[in-house]
Amino acid sequence: MRIHYTRRFIGLAGLLAAGIAQAGTVSDFFDEFLKARAEGRTSTIVGIDNDTLLLNRDDGFYTSGMSLGQASTLRGTDGAATYGWRIAQELYTASDIKLPPAQFGPPDHPYAGWLYGGIFKEIHRNDGTSLRYGLDLGCLGPCAGGRWTQTNFHRVIDQPLPQGWSKQVRNEAGIVLHGEITPVRWRVGNAFDLAPTIQGRLGNIFTDLGIGLTARAGNLNLLPQQPALYGFLRTDVRAVGYNATLQGGLFSKDNPHTVDPKRVVGEVEAGVVWTGQNFGARLGLVRRSNEIRDLPDSQGAQNFLRLQISYTP
């Protein structure tokens, strides 16, 4: 089975890398990146995903995501180009973090940490269409520091300490290519629009392909850093090829606890976005469907809050 995935990964990675290469060389990318930082406006962005923010003391599955990055946007006559970087950590645990290692196993979620950094480019056009692609490099397993992060965070907020990190997936270096395209945007006046998206990830940590639809209502923007205040509803569904947080690293062996993923996973997010002259914020409530094949849907569905804050000098 892993040989099958390895061959598929190598083949798809070659195709995607060739497609990205057509957009320009690595040298061109960094030249444009430096130009955007020198001549454009740079935003510093902090992101948090966490089920604890719902204040219901539930803690499990995808339990935390933290990110820090910068995005430099350079305006042009046809739209804007954004170049950026990010570092992030994602934490995944069993459904009940109070269970000791001997008392949980399949079909419960294994413990897993994914620590990574990456670069990306976005192209935004004046008609609201866009393209984004990037590359993340990182580490899955104990090297990601998930045990330290969650244990110390729970001490600070006075919540139960996780018991199962000794049974997390094994170490593996990871690479993930990702992309997203918004091919069209339908507008109804100046206060409502609807946009479909196609997105995908390819790598030994995540491989999936999805489609989505986002509706926005309010004071809308079409380009990054433009003033805005609107509510949104986003839905998407993705076909899952590989998920190392459930299955262990594609190339690692002897993982103590792994499960099979569901091949189709859906997600709904409702929230609000505000962008001012120097500050911005995005707050969303996310409902994600069950990701584990042998776990009942009633037990595997999860809710978490997504918060993002930006500052642009």
Work out the pLDDT band at 58, boundaries 50, 70, 90. low
Contact criterion met (CB below 8 Å) for 233 and 214? yes
Q: Which of 120, 172, 170, 114 is nearest to 145 (CA)?
A: 114
Model confidence at 75: pLDDT above 70:
yes
Structural domains of the chain sorted by starting position, each given as residue range(s) with its CATH number in brackets: 2-311 (2.40.128.140)
Q: What is the DSSP letter of 250?
A: S
Model confidence at 1: pLDDT above 50:
no
Record the pTM.
0.91
pLDDT digits (tens, 9 = 90+) for 137-148: 999 999 999 999
Helix (H) or strand (E) holding 307: strand 302-311
**Angle 116-119-121 from CA coordinates, rounded to 5°:** 145
| Integer Cα distance of 29 and 156 in angstroms | 41
Work out the pLDDT band at 45, boundaries 50, 70, 90. very high
pLDDT digits (tens, 9 = 90+) for 213-269: 999 999 999 999 999 999 999 999 999 999 999 999 999 888 889 999 999 999 999
Model confidence at 44: pLDDT above 50:
yes
Contact criterion met (CB below 8 Å) for 49 and 88? no
Model confidence at 24: pLDDT above 70:
no
Mean of the per-residue pLDDT values for the chain?
90
19: left (phi over 0), alpha (psi -120 to 50) or beta: alpha
Q: Tally the C-alpha atoms within 13 A of residue 23's C-alpha that lie toward its C-beta.
A: 16
Dihedrals phi, psi of 134, to nearest 5 degrees:
-170, 180
Strand, coil or helix: 22: helix
Q: From start to end of 126-244, where are the E strands?
A: 130-140, 172-182, 186-188, 192-203, 206-219, 228-243
Contact criterion met (CB below 8 Å) for 91 and 146? yes
